[in-house]
């Protein structure tokens, strides 16, 4: 914890970041995803929200969390998936008193996370250049659609738009000539999520550097940059071949057979990863000779002769049920799975064993389900006991920690600052 000012008392936490405080001025998804990861890791995350309104995603429903009395309704599922473990404080940052509160919190924080438009916080004296005067060791992470520089720097962006602009939709979906062909978005806001992940990595790197040097940092993270980086093998395929990647449904561009195939009673996803697995796959199909066939023995040959290979695979898999094939492939270590719907994911014994779905006590609903962090620590275990906060739930608590008494807090409420 930065010690440039007196450190307010904070809740006892576990996890490797239990000594860290985050001032979270972000909303929607990318920034809150990052701050929820930090909260899961033990950080004290203070979420700043607009008085009376809060984060936009509180209203992005239905569905909404039903209150225990069945009459009231809580926050939208969208908000609930990304704000676990935080404390909600409402502050109108357009007011001088509100700006003073943010400065006071910045003095006692290790990290500030925000996703305002470029230049917006500078108008309130809350830009990095302003706040590093208050706290030179502050790590200030800014998430925008296009970054702090460039011809689009001032423009707003959302995940769906960046999936399109950044090339992801050009390689997602069925080929144009097939039924249902055309560009498709990914089924979750993947650019937001990956931007949050990159933000977390950058913040942790800056923390490590600060431990070594004492120096704070400004992190400039752009959603379009993230999506360009996420093109991964598709980008490199193009850059070294000059051939534009195309949508090809579920078929992998570089490794085969990796596709979704019909069985007698459903579909199976097969993910053969190397030539040895292919030979085992062929044996389980009852066609071991495929493994030594000159057309299919090596992955590069399978790619070149994929239509012929797929014809053989489709014919054989259609002869039996999905779970028959999954069981056979499991027995020999060939990755394969049924296409689970979301309810089936949480019914999967492995997911249940790993306790990925937990219930947390909630002040209105009794309990709220949470899909928790996949990170597991032996020596600094994570705890999931703080639900997504009600709007302004912790305003008085946090302001009291800053030294404001009940009268001062009441005055700020009367002025609609908090």
Catalytic amino acids?
Answer: 192
Residue 354 DSSP class: T
Note the Cα 410 to chain centre separation in Å: 37
Q: Is the dihedral angle over the CA atoms 401, 405, 409, 415 positive or is it negative?
A: negative
- Look at the chain and count its residues: 418
CA distances from 320 to 223, 259, 287, 334 (A): 45, 17, 15, 17
DSSP-assigned letters across all residues of 44-77: EEEEEE-TTT--GGGGS-SSEEEPTTSSSEEEEH
* CB atoms inside a 10 Å sphere around CB 217: 20
Note the Cα 30 to chain centre separation in Å: 7
Q: Who contacts 396 (Cβ-Cβ below 8 Å, separation ≥6)?
A: 406, 409
- 22 pairs with which residues across the strands? 45, 111
**Spatial CA neighbour of 24 closest among 48, 44, 55:** 48
SS3 of residue 26 by DSSP: coil
- 139 pairs with which residues across the strands? 111, 217
CA distances from 389 to 27, 306, 374 (A): 14, 52, 21
**Spatial CA neighbour of 190 closest among 166, 163, 171:** 163
């Amino acid at each position: 914890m930065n010690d440039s000012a007196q450190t307010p008392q904070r809740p006892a936490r576990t996890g490797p970041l239990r000594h860290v405080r985050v001032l979270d001025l972000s909303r929607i998804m990318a920034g809150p995803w990052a701050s929820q990861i930090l909260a899961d890791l033990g950080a004290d995350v203070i979420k700043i929200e607009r008085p009376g309104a809060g984060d936009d995603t509180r209203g992005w429903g239905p569905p909404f969390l039903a209150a225990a009395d069945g009459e009231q309704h809580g926050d939208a599922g969208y908000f609930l998936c990304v704000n676990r473990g935080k404390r909600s404080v409402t502050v109108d940052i357009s007011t001088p008193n509100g700006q003073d509160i943010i400065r006071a919190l910045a003095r006692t924080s290790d990290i500030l996370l925000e996703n305002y438009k470029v230049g917006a916080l500078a108008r309130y004296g809350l830009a990095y250049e302003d706040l590093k005067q208050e706290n030179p060791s502050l790590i200030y992470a800014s998430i925008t659609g296009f970054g702090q520089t460039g011809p689009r720097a001032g423009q707003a962006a959302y995940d769906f738009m960046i999936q399109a602009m950044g090339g992801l939709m050009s390689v997602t979906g069925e080929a144009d000539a097939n039924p249902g062909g055309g560009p498709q978005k990914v089924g979750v806001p993947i650019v937001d999520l990956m931007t949050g992940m990159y933000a977390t990595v950058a913040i942790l790197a800056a923390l490590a550097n600060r431990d070594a040097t004492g120096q704070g940092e400004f992190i400039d993270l752009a959603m379009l940059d993230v999506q360009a980086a996420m093109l991964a093998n598709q980008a490199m395929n193009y850059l070294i071949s000059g051939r534009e990647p195309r949508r090809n449904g579920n078929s992998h561009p570089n490794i085969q057979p990796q596709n979704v195939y019909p069985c007698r009673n459903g579909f199976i996803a097969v993910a053969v990863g190397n030539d040895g697995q292919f030979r085992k796959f062929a044996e389980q199909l009852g066609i071991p000779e495929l493994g030594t066939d000159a057309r299919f023995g090596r992955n590069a040959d399978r790619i070149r002769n994929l239509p012929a290979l797929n014809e053989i695979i489709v014919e054989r898999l259609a002869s039996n049920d999905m779970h028959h094939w999954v069981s056979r492939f499991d027995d020999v270590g060939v990755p394969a799975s049924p296409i689970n719907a979301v309810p089936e994911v949480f019914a999967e014994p492995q997911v249940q064993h790993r306790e990925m779905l937990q219930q947390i006590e909630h002040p209105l609903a009794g309990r709220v389900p949470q899909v928790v962090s996949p990170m597991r620590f032996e020596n600094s275990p994570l705890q999931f006991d703080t639900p997504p906060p009600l709007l302004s739930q912790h305003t008085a608590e946090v302001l009291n920690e800053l030294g404001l008494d009940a009268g001062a807090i009441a005055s700020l409420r009367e002025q609609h600052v908090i």
